[in-house]
Amino acid sequence: MNVPLLPTLGIYFDIDGTIIIPIAVFWILVIVLNKLVFQRFLQVVEWREEGVSGSRKDAAEMESRAEELREEYHEKERQARREAQEVRQNLREQGMREQDQRFEEVREEIREEMDEERKEIQEQLDRAREEMEKQARGLASAMVAKILPET
């Protein structure tokens, strides 16, 4: 039986018992190539996919862990800054208290020195008054003696 394949070109295809041989060769080649090449190729592609998928999963886990560590680092950094600020504030307050205490001590020392100086000045004034009174009495006596001679 002649079946026209491309009748305009005059090519005809003859179907007879010999057609089984090319079909059998084709299927044998498909089976052999499937076992030797295609399955191995598909297995390599599958392994590669698993590797890439595993690598992607590992990369995602590493990225997630890196993000967690980054957040933990930033939180510790914020905590350290807060603690440093508290320490600075405590030191500042302690310094101010010490400064106020020192100022108070200096004021007290100055008050004591001023009191001592006032007492000393008062004593000098009292001595000077006594001396002036003695001199005034002596002068008064001398004046009286000169004005009223002794008879």
Q: Which residues are bridge partners to 13 per DSSP?
A: 3
What tokens appear for 88 in the block? 């600075």
Hey, what are 87's tokens?
A: 């320490």
Supply the pLDDT for residue 138.
Answer: 87
Q: In DSSP terms, which residues pair with 4 in a beta bridge?
A: 12
Cα separation, 116 vs 110, whole angstroms: 10
* pLDDT given for residue 78 in this prediction: 96
For 70-73, the CB contacts below 8 A with 24+ separation are none
Q: How many domains does the chain have?
A: 1
pLDDT score for 120: 94
- Residue 10 has φ and ψ, to the nearest 5°, of 80, 25
Note down the domain range covering 72: 2-147
CB 16 within 8 A of CB 1: yes
Give residue 87's pLDDT.
96
Q: Per residue of the chain (151 residues), give pLDDT as tens.
A: 555 555 566 665 666 777 788 889 999 999 998 888 888 888 888 888 888 888 888 888 999 999 999 999 999 999 999 999 999 999 999 999 999 999 999 999 999 999 999 999 999 999 999 999 998 888 888 888 888 776 5
CB 73 within 8 A of CB 80: no
- Give the CA-trace dihedral at 65, 69, 75, 79, to 10 degrees: 150
- Do 15 and 3 contact (CB within 8 A), yes or no? yes
